Amino acid sequence: MSHTCTIEPYVIKYTPKEPKNVHPDSNFYGFDLDHTLIRPKNPKAIFAKASDDWKLMVYGDEKESLTELIKIVTEDPTAQIVIFTNQGGVITLPRNSKSCQKFTGKIDLILRHIETLPHGDVLLPRLWLYSSTMKPAALFPRSSHRHKKVVKPTKTQSTLPLLARSKNAEGKSELDLEEVKKKFDLMRKPKTGMVDELLKDLQKSDPSFELDGIKWKYYCGDAAGRKSDFSDSDKVFAEALGIVFKVPEDVFI
């Protein structure tokens, strides 16, 4: 595979194993995933039912979304393509959950499809993907999580890494649910936690990268707050980053 898949409680990341042209002068092009680059095979469906339940979005005169991404990286030698997607139905605790396997299986299929395309080998080492995930119900039951800030970890909760644990008066480890919840919330667009994850990965290639130094060309997504849109999260996400926002029709037509 061309990418390394990293599954963390709050985010799933696909980063190129051999990234190319990654430096502070690179131009970054951001995209949403669902209903921007891909959609379910059933045109009336909103969510995919299986790993292979996807097809590329087609715009204008039968122009596929990936055709434009490949055009960007071939015309701009500094270009990096970054996908940021909210996946509110994907749970990574545990990692072998059906929803996590379905999502990662879908991304694996998309990457393999890119390998078959003309100049797909140019896109893959410059393609990054970040996906926010769902807060597990075991940690945040609807009936109680609003009233309890700190609880003792149960066997189910023991799968959570020691990210927000503290010692109580008796010296026992406790889990601060409010701190854990913040980490999940920060990853979900329109919050910009996924961009912080991108920065960490970019700094592995070039330590001189800084958050305010990422050169964004634009961010493209379908959640623009229009009457037909389910949300304005993509537009607000771009505004939070202080970058140009475009709807798919602006980029692909």
- Mean pLDDT is lowest, of 22-36, 108-122, 146-160, for 146-160
Q: Which residues contact 27 (CB under 8 A, 6 or more apart)?
A: 76, 78, 79, 80, 215, 217
Mean pLDDT of the chain: 88
pLDDT interval class at 211 (50, 70, 90): confident
Entry pTM: 0.87
Predicted pLDDT of residue 226: 94
Query: Coil, strand or helix: which one is 239?
Result: helix
Split at pLDDT 50, 70, 90, the class of 199 is very high
Mean pLDDT of 121-134: 97
| Nearest-angstrom CA–CA distance, 183 and 187 | 7
Give the contacts of 63 (CB within 8 A, at least 6 positions apart): 252, 253
Domain ranges for the chain: 3-136+183-252
Give dist(CA 123, CA 105) in Å, integer.
20
Q: What is the model's pLDDT at position 138?
A: 67
Q: What would the pLDDT profile of 131-184 be if each residue is shown by its tens digit?
A: 999 987 767 666 544 444 444 444 434 445 544 455 555 554 455 677 778 889
What is the average per-residue pLDDT within 207-229? Answer: 93
Return the minimum-mean-pLDDT range out of 11-15, 166-170, 190-194: 166-170
Is the domain covering 3-136+183-252 a CATH 2.30.33.40 domain? no
Q: Could you tell me if 192 and 241 are in contact, meaning their C-beta atoms sit under 8 angstroms apart? A: yes
Asked if 66 contacts 15 with a C-beta cutoff of 8 angstroms, the reply is: no
- What mean pLDDT do residues 98-124 have? 97
Report pLDDT for 175: 56
- Per-residue pLDDT for 215 more than 70? yes
